[in-house]
Structure 1
Amino acid sequence: MKLSVEEFLEKSKNVPVIDVRTPAEFDKGHIPGAYNIPLLSNEERAIVGTMYKQVGKEPAFEKALEYSGPNMVNFVREAKKKAIDNKLLVYCWRGGMRSGSMAWLFNAAGIESHTLDGGYKAFRRHIHSAFDRTNKIIVLGGYTGSGKTEILKELSKQVQVVDLEGFAHHKGSAFGFIGQSEQPTTEQFENNLGIEWLKLNPDKDIWLEDESRNIGRVYLPDNIYNKIRNAPVIFIEISKEIRIERLIKDYAGYDDKLLQKAIDKIKKRIGGLRYQLATKALENNDYSEVADITLSYYDKAYLYGLNKREKEKIFKLKIIDNNPGNASKVILDYYQSLNIF
């Protein structure tokens, strides 16, 4: 039985999902939480695809059977390990032969299996349509080291918040990779973000952190980036001293080689003299000086982006302490007093 994307995702809350595409397709991007039981290997898929184009459908189909036939028992064994209450959901790229064949096999083996109508391609369309929805976006802005992520975490106890940097496994700056797990592909980032976006109430405010088009190696969907750029910004002004203190806390405990790697990334941007001073400060374990030098660059870069926004959509607010919980209360009270929407 074929299910719509909405039906498929609803059932996936309780039923395991099997992606039968190649490992390469799966690694590029998949439905979050899916397991990969590939009908064909990367190499086999390439050969079958070439045959389909050059020789025709029937020879390609026979070749695929030649490859997959001997593995049928292994497919079933893997499926039984993953099934819950003897049920599975199955998808491929377009919801065609690959998922249909595997679902047939699993059903024949006694595992109740349903496929995704339109396949992974339909899922991708679905999440991008969700990104296109009209939302009431509020952006939390502030210079590097302002603790925006921590403040948003506190705000999430009262309002809808999406942690873009959390999904990207990166904090945004040249130092943002430090202490983070490996970044997902941009496609997988969109998938993970899309599932979260679908959970949001479109009638309520959604708070996001101010971000560039890319967060490390991951790029925001155009529609999300445009929402950020056009949304009202609560720009929190926090002293440089507090920001330096926070950056030392966040990064000074890591290997200095990682910090040097980050400084190397912005060498051209901060200039030769500042690069040398930052490197020397790092050698002397003067993390405060390293932070001070790099903030001079980041503050200027952030201000440049802020000045490109519509001035009437920027609302500045001074935050005087280093407590995210207190800051979140001040910010929310201030926002509610503005009556923006």
Structure 2
Amino acid sequence: MAWITQGIQDFLGLLEQGDSTVVDVRTPGEFRRGHIPGAVNIALFSDVQRAEVGTLYARGGRDEAVVRGLELVGPRLADLVRRAREVAGSGSLGVYCWRGGMRSASMAWLLETAGFPGVVQLSGGYKAFRHEVHRIFAKPWRFQVLGGYTGSGKTEILRCLAERGEQVLDLEGLAGHRGSSFGHIGMGSQPETEGFENLVWDTLRGFDESRRIWVEDESLRIGSVFVPRDVHNRMQECPMVIVTVDGEQRARRLVREYAGVSDEELHGAILKIQKRLGGLRTREALQALQSGDYLTAARITLEYYDRAYQNCMTRPRPGRVWELKPMEDDPRAAAAALSSGEYGGGETERED
């Protein structure tokens, strides 16, 4: 065997090499659920074919499954090599499957036979990578949680903090969702939870563990994905700073962010909260939306979100909480105060 096999730590070193390529040989469906960030999918089998081979393995044994797998892949060998040449860099080429078994070994043999230099197979496969993901999540990260009512500009403040050289974990950006019933609007499709976790891992692994990491206060669920349990639990244990912006400024920010994107989606989002907003206020919000009065619609929806946030903040929290004095809607100024640790002066400290 001319190719080499590496454990997860050495294999992940390939991601740091700009001239190396990592190939995921699992099915398109497996790849969509989650993959090593930066990997390229060159699937040996389709989802249907993998199910067929798996059924044969369970019922007829290994030999019958291997023969059927060769029948399916054999006619495509040249195409697989051509695809690998399209994506390969000048450096090493890493391959992995689910457990580091026959699929990745077969691809490694094919690529080595085709003349690719430095082919590396991941020992333990994607399963070993997922163990590494959860190992990283369990570390005692120094999160600094950023809280505040809806429309306070927390996402933009995080962006400004990153520009100032602070470490920032943007969970909503990675999730492709802003967290509320309106959170999907203008954000595109979300990854699956496993894929989201892999993106969180990819961000955390680049951080200095000795420094603080700014992260927005989130519930366990962001749209259709879930924040890793270890990360979320650690966030609850760490200090929080609440940014305070008055309701009118927050409503105007929501108008800037959502108005004109899709009235149909805004209409649907309002209907999602109608039970908590109440029938009368829901009708008034929808009428305002229909007439183009986005500011009134925003003011009404904030009634619900403000109540929800107030209820959330009454729950005991292990980490210390600081409340900033009321401030203008100025994310750059807020980021400067947060980065300096001054918190604007006159803040009140609250401990649960």
Q: For this structure pair, what is the TM-score category when the shorter chain's length is used for normalisation?
A: over 0.9
Inter-partner Cα distance in structure 2 for 1:9 and 1:310 = 36
**Structure 2 partner of 1:84:** 89
Deviation of the 1:35 alpha carbon: 1.2
2:325–2:344 Cα contact (<8 Å) kept: no
**Structure 2 partner of 1:123:** 129
**Structure 2 partner of 1:71:** 76
**Structure 2 partner of 1:104:** 109
Paired letter, 1:228: M
**Structure 2 partner of 1:276:** 283
2:158–2:168 Cα contact (<8 Å) kept: yes
Structure 1 unaligned residues grouped into runs of 5+: none
Note closer, same or farther for the CA distance 1:77–1:158 as it changes in structure 2 (3 Å cut): closer
State the SS of the aligned residue for 1:318: coil
- Out of 37, 62, 68, the position equivalent to 1:32 is 37
1:288 aligns with 2:288: no
Inter-partner Cα distance in structure 2 for 1:312 and 1:81 = 50
Inter-partner Cα distance in structure 2 for 1:165 and 1:97 = 37
Note closer, same or farther for the CA distance 1:311–1:119 as it changes in structure 2 (3 Å cut): closer
**Structure 1 partner of 2:13:** 10
TM-score, normalised via structure 1 length: 0.96
Report the RMSD for the aligned CA atoms in angstroms: 1.7
Which digits, 9 at most, give the CA deviation of each residue in 1:234-289, with x for residues without a partner? 01111011101111111112121121011111111212111111111111211111
Inter-partner Cα distance in structure 1 for 2:156 and 2:344 = 20
**Structure 1 partner of 2:172:** 165
Inter-partner Cα distance in structure 2 for 1:310 and 1:116 = 41
- Out of 302, 306, 312, the position equivalent to 2:309 is 302
Note closer, same or farther for the CA distance 1:30–1:20 as it changes in structure 2 (3 Å cut): same
State the SS of the aligned residue for 1:301: helix
**Structure 2 partner of 1:246:** 253
- Out of 232, 237, 244, the position equivalent to 1:237 is 244
Deviation of the 1:292 alpha carbon: 0.9
2:237–2:319 Cα contact (<8 Å) kept: no
2:21–2:91 Cα contact (<8 Å) kept: no
**Structure 1 partner of 2:223:** 216
1:178–1:258 Cα contact (<8 Å) kept: yes
**Structure 2 partner of 1:334:** 342
Note closer, same or farther for the CA distance 1:329–1:19 as it changes in structure 2 (3 Å cut): same
Inter-partner Cα distance in structure 1 for 2:220 and 2:317 = 18
- Out of 189, 193, 197, the position equivalent to 1:186 is 193
Inter-partner Cα distance in structure 1 for 2:157 and 2:344 = 16
Inter-partner Cα distance in structure 2 for 1:274 and 1:127 = 45
Paired letter, 2:248: E
Q: Paired residues, what number?
A: 339
Deviation of the 1:86 alpha carbon: 6.0
Paired letter, 2:342: Y
**Structure 2 partner of 1:114:** 120
Which digits, 9 at most, give the CA deviation of each residue in 1:137-173, with x for residues without a partner? 1100000000001111111223211111110111111
State the SS of the aligned residue for 1:334: coil
Note closer, same or farther for the CA distance 1:22–1:315 as it changes in structure 2 (3 Å cut): same
Inter-partner Cα distance in structure 1 for 2:104 and 2:201 = 23
Deviates more, 1:307-316 or 1:223-232: 307-316
Deviates more, 1:50-59 or 1:77-86: 77-86
TM-score, normalised via structure 2 length: 0.93
Deviation of the 1:40 alpha carbon: 1.1
Deviation of the 1:12 alpha carbon: 2.1
Deviation of the 1:336 alpha carbon: 11
Note closer, same or farther for the CA distance 1:233–1:86 as it changes in structure 2 (3 Å cut): closer
2:96–2:122 Cα contact (<8 Å) kept: yes
1:127–1:198 Cα contact (<8 Å) kept: no
Structure 2 unaligned residues grouped into runs of 5+: none
Deviates more, 1:77-86 or 1:51-60: 77-86
**Structure 2 partner of 1:154:** 160
Inter-partner Cα distance in structure 2 for 1:204 and 1:254 = 38
1:207 aligns with 2:214: yes
Inter-partner Cα distance in structure 1 for 2:252 and 2:343 = 27
Note closer, same or farther for the CA distance 1:149–1:86 as it changes in structure 2 (3 Å cut): closer
State the SS of the aligned residue for 1:110: coil
State the SS of the aligned residue for 1:275: helix
1:141–1:235 Cα contact (<8 Å) kept: yes
**Structure 2 partner of 1:60:** 65
Note closer, same or farther for the CA distance 1:336–1:276 as it changes in structure 2 (3 Å cut): closer
1:177–1:216 Cα contact (<8 Å) kept: yes
